[in-house]
Amino acid sequence: MGLAASVNRIFAAGLALAMGSAAMAEPIVIHAGRLIAVPGEGVQGPSTIIVEDGRIRSVSAGHQPAPEGARLIDLGDKTVLPGLIDSHVHLSSDEGGVARAMQSMERSDGWFALNAYANGMKTLRAGFTTVRNLGDGTGATLALAKAVEDGMVQGPRIVDAGVSLSATTGHMDGALGWRDEFRPLFEEKGNTCDGPAQCRRAVRLQVARGADVIKFASTGGVNSRIGAGLGAQMFEDEARAIVETARLYDKEVAVHAHGADGILLALKLGVDSIEHGTILTEEVIDAWARSDTYYVPTLSTVNGYKERLAANAGAYSPDVLAKIRWRIDITGKSLQQLVPRGVKIAFGTDAGVSKHGRNADEFELMVANGMTMEGALVAATVNAADLLGLSDEIGTIEAGKSADIIAVSGDPLVDPAAFRSVPFVMARGVVVE
């Protein structure tokens, strides 16, 4: 039985009720105390939102009476906002370092599917109604994305990259650092490529698997199991082949890049987003400021690293630990440099390295490193929706869009801690318990 079929059988009986057609049939009237319908365009006072068949039917000023037969949800003491979007997660992953390597050997694909579901629910309950999953070696999240789309289970809307692409011995080579005889156990589904022809094929394989977006690593990574550095690890003709093939299939492209040379290469190729973007030069900053490429900062990784090391000083191998210490010290400096230059920012945490369900911790780190809270909220709604190609569907509370709606206590434009606890979440018209 394939993984998708296994996920369907496991989840269908117990969880289908969450997205059942009966739940969609009942009109819902939401009374908001304050409304941020379009982040970046101010705050409205008491407002009424009518939801029907999973979509926003209307938004009006004041608390209008509920039509006969409608369900009333009173959020008169709350600030209501669009559902949040995390542009960089790994739902099937929880562990890091040595524990992550052991997990990949001990756990089955079915277990990773259940883990992805559990992490998806943590994320949804935290107010993130859409995520972009940027790498999963088992296919678990592709299966979960389809199950959510089909209404079989509850979870965030998932834009999925399939398996991230890499040169052999690059950051996304799952067999990196293992003995030769172990490589077949860790090599992922056609994700490594050397030379333009192989890289074109690698993209086509992910498209065939159902990937919504293509992700590749142009540089080394912090968690790579060898000390190969953080500079470029892919030649331009290989990276160009990936981008051109992705465009052939109308897929957007996200690039893992730490080193300035790999960032500059990605900018030259006109990719849609650069993840991490850690080492900058004036040449890189100037090129980025002239581009339409989004920056996804993933500052929350430092929280994951600090927490794992506090619990276990030996959580990472020496080569990886050296890079982690460097990453902790430098994180946030790129954001400080890019925000004043007008580079577009989209919210993304790299959850899986950091804790799932704690995605909103990123807001506090963004504000601490030069963004206003309003700017950070725009990054997690309007900008992230644009990056994912879903501006017509999500990112704002407007008639015709998906009813992805959250509510928080306090003033989220002043206090990022308001998102630490989200008391109300609606995803595609269904209230999340």
Domain pair 3-83+395-431 / 84-387, same fold: no
- What is the DSSP track for 369-421? TT--HHHHHHIIIIIHHHHTT-TTTSSS--TTSB--EEEESS-TTT-GGGGGS
Three-state secondary-structure class, residue 254 = strand
Fold observed for domain 84-387: TIM Barrel (3.20.20)
The gap from C-alpha 224 to its chain's centroid, in whole angstroms, comes to 20
Do 86 and 395 meet the contact criterion of CB atoms below 8 Å apart?
Answer: no
Q: Which residues of 319-358 are buried (b: 16+ CB within 10 A; e: fewer)?
A: ebbebbeebeeebbebbebbbeeebbbbbbbbbbbbbbbb
Q: How far apart are CA 330 and CA 13, in angstroms?
A: 47
Q: Which pLDDT belongs to residue 285?
A: 98
Q: Looking at the predicted structure, is the pLDDT value of residue 1 above 60? A: no
Domain parsing of the chain, residue ranges? 3-83+395-431, 84-387
Beta strands across the sheet bearing 128-133 = 84-89, 128-133, 157-160
Average pLDDT score over residue span 376-395:
98
Q: Confidence class of residue 14 from pLDDT cuts 50, 70 and 90? A: very low
Give the helix/strand (H/E) hosting 208. Answer: helix 196-209
- What is the DSSP track for 125-182? HTTEEEEEE---SSSHHHHHHHHHHTTSS---EEEE--SPBB-TTSTT-TTTTS-GGG
Q: Which pLDDT belongs to residue 100?
A: 63
Closest CA to 424 of 43, 77, 38: 77
Instruction: Give the pair of three-digit tokens for residue 207.
Output: 């498209």
User: 363 burial class (0-12, 13-18, 19+ CB within 10 angstroms)?
Assistant: buried
Q: What is the pLDDT of residues 364-379, one digit of tens each?
A: 999 999 999 999 999 9
Q: Which pLDDT belongs to residue 176?
A: 72
Q: What is the pLDDT of residues 95-119, one digit of tens each?
A: 766 666 666 667 788 888 999 999 9
Q: What is the pLDDT of residues 57-95, one digit of tens each?
A: 999 999 999 988 999 999 999 999 999 999 999 999 887
- The CATH superfamily holding the domain 3-83+395-431 is Urease, subunit C, domain 1 (2.30.40.10)
Hey, how many other C-beta atoms are within 10 angstroms of the C-beta on 290?
A: 12
Closest CA to 154 of 410, 422, 404: 404
Question: What does pTM read for this prediction?
Answer: 0.91
Q: Which pLDDT belongs to residue 229?
A: 78
Rg (Cα) of the chain, in Å, rounded?
A: 21
Hey, how many other C-beta atoms are within 10 angstroms of the C-beta on 71?
A: 12
Q: What is the pLDDT of residues 48-57, one digit of tens each?
A: 999 999 999 9
Q: CA-based diameter of the chain, in Å?
A: 69
For helices 260-268 and 282-290, angle between their N-to-C axes, nearest 10 degrees = 30
Q: Looking at the predicted structure, is the pLDDT value of residue 21 above 80? A: no
